[in-house]
Amino acid sequence: MHWMLDVTFREDESPIRRGTGALAFNVLRKIALSLFKQDTSKNISMVRKRKIAALDDEYRSLLLYAGIKML
């Protein structure tokens, strides 16, 4: 799991290393990674999905809606 987080979010390069901030960002990254894994609409890498989600509001909404439906 750590390798996937590092490759997708460049976690090792993050300046957030201590305290609750590091824990909070780790949890958010794991949630995002889970949403990317569940998305089968695009057959592309996790890094590419992250970049598309950052730029495309519609794709990001699709990911978040799918995550809410899971609950």
Q: How many domains does the chain have?
A: 1
Q: Which amino acid is at 64?
A: L
Residue 66 belongs to domain spanning = 2-70
- Report pLDDT for 60: 93
How many residues comprise the chain? 71
pTM for the model stands at 0.75
- Could you give the CA distance from residue 26 to residue 52 in angstroms, rounded to a whole number? 20
pLDDT band at 25 (very low <50, low <70, confident <90, very high): confident
Q: Which amino acid is at 4?
A: M
- Report pLDDT for 56: 96
Q: Which helix (H) or strand (E) holds 27?
A: helix 19-38
- Report pLDDT for 57: 96
Cα–chain-centroid distance for residue 8?
8
